[in-house]
Structure 1
Amino acid sequence: MSKILILGAAAKIAQHAIAQFIAQKQDDLTLYLRNARLLQAQAGKHVRVIDGDVMDTRHLQQVAQGQDVVYANLAGDNIKEQSLSTVTALEAVGVRRLIWISTLGIYDEVPGAFGKWNHEMLDGGYLEPYSAAASVIASSKLDTTILRPAWLTDKGEVDYELTQKGEPFKGTEVSRKSVADLVVKLARDPKRHVYDSLGVNKPGTDGDKPSWY
């Protein structure tokens, strides 16, 4: 069994991934979040729930000790600072594999009218810190994969395609369940897409904006 630490475990994508991990019964999970009571019902033989803040680097370092994979589903205005704390903690204890959720547009890789709309929606305090955090992750000594999902939906489907950094982003939306499916696949194969930054979208959703706008 692999030992997988999930940071920001209450996030919606993380919850889909946790459900898949638990259903497959192949891993020991550590769920790390600011309010452990939210997920205490998920605790069990192979799932422990820990109350903590990734900004507490020393505590995160203690929790990360002995883990095989870390999956970070973090958010907030201080996302760059969270990335620095995460990298510091993992490098200190020799945990190398990190899967990091970011967002589309951090490289100005979204083309056309949708790219312009995406900038209008996310510039001015959102894209900038997420871009800075991704730079921290990519420049670390860790074996990293950065995921850049399109605009997220709660559709109960797994349907996605990938683009690499340096390629134009495709599509406008993707389900959280799809992103979670990719996270689980990456966690199960530690060499898969190492050092890649992957755009994630649902095929056939090209347009000027997501369908619900």
Structure 2
Amino acid sequence: MMKKVLILGAGGQIAQFAEAELAGKADLTLFLRHPEKLSQPVGTVITGDVFDTDQLAAAMKGQDIVYSNLGPQPMAKMAKAVIAAAEKAGVQRLIWVATVGIYREEPADHVAEVEAIYGAADDPTSYFGDERVGADLIEASSLTSTIIRPNTLTNGTAVEEVVVNGRHDTVSGQPIARRTVAHFISELVLNDDQYENESIAISTK
């Protein structure tokens, strides 16, 4: 039997690449505010708002995995909404996409440069800070989560070899194509006993 997978923010570029890969391999439900963004729907489509807890919990009911492609802001508020709905629906497994930089885990000579653009990771009002709070909320929840922090995204069309760094590692890889991120997520959805309760950065060699 195919896994039931709910994809939040299903109209995003990475999400749509993942949906195409998972088509026919998983029973997909696509949850998003603007269904017109879907170039080729490959599952049940729900037009919805993650801040409507009852609606989101209803969409989560009976799902095996929730893959969140939400963003870019407000991630902390969205994390709270997703946790509340998952707990209400009795869903345990969550794949949550954040971004590299929220732990100041990039090479030391690069941290100041990226924080000048995205804000300090310890400032919850900044992009990095909001992403960090969201990730911290997911980690502290009762859910079995994998937080994926892609390196700088590119539009490369090839699926590249991935470098995985842990929560406390300095990121060692290079920018990564959205298609590669989607492939990594698709593989994790199909083999979701990997990286349980871990926050991982993914890059290319």
TM range (shorter): over 0.9
Local SS of the residue matching 1:31: strand
Q: Shift in Å at residue 40 of structure 1? A: 7.7
CA shift in 2, pair 1:60/1:103, >3 Å: same
How far residue 4 of structure 1 moved from its aligned partner, in angstroms, is 0.4
Higher mean alpha-carbon deviation, 114-123 vs 7-16, is at 114-123
Q: Partner of 1:133 in structure 2?
A: 134
| Structure 2 CA distance for partners of 1:28 and 1:80, relative to 1, 3 Å | same
Q: For residues 101 and 69 of structure 1, what CA distance do their matches in structure 2 show?
A: 14
Query: Following TM superposition, by how much is the alpha carbon of 1:15 offset from its aligned partner in structure 2, in angstroms?
Result: 0.9
Report the alpha carbon displacement of residue 76 of structure 1 after superposing the two structures with TM: 3.4
Asked whether the 8 Å contact 2:163–2:173 carries over to 1, the reply is no
1:193 matched to which residue of 2? 195
In structure 2, the partner of 1:21 is: 22
Q: What is the match of residue 58 of structure 2?
A: 62
Distance 2:117 2:39 in 1: 35
SS of match in other structure, 1:42 = coil
Question: Percent identity between the aligned chains?
Answer: 33
The amino acid that maps onto 1:104 is: V
Gaps of 5+ in 2: 121-125
Aligned to 1:82: 78
RMSD: 1.3
Contact 1:34 1:52 in 2 (8 A): yes
TM-score, structure 1 as length reference: 0.89
CA distance in 1, matches of 2:48, 2:28: 15
Report the TM-score, using the length of structure 2 for normalisation: 0.92
Over residues 119-169 of structure 1, what are the superposed CA-to-partner deviations in whole Å (9 max), with x where a residue is unaligned? Answer: 222116210100000001000111100001111001012222100010101
- Matched residues, number: 198
Unaligned runs of 5+ in 1: 204-213
Residue 158 of structure 1: aligned partner: 159
